Amino acid sequence: MSQELRRFKAEIFQALAHPTRIAIVESLRNGEMSAGQLVDQLGLEQANASQHFAVLRSRQIVSSRKEGNQVFYALRDPVLVEVLDILKRYFNSHLSQTMVMLKELQEEKTTPEK
CATH number at residue 53: 1.10.10.10
| pLDDT score, position 71 | 96
| pLDDT score, position 103 | 83
At position 82, the amino acid (one-letter code) is: E
Q: What is the value of pTM for the model shown?
A: 0.80
Distance of alpha carbon 48 from alpha carbon 78, whole angstroms? 24
What total of structural domains would you count in the chain? Answer: 1
- Helices assigned H by DSSP within the chain: 3-15, 19-27, 35-42, 46-58, 79-110
The parent domain of residue 8 ranges over: 3-110
Q: How confident is the model at residue 101 (pLDDT cuts 50, 70, 90)?
A: confident
Whether pLDDT at 110 is above 90? no
At position 25, the amino acid (one-letter code) is: V
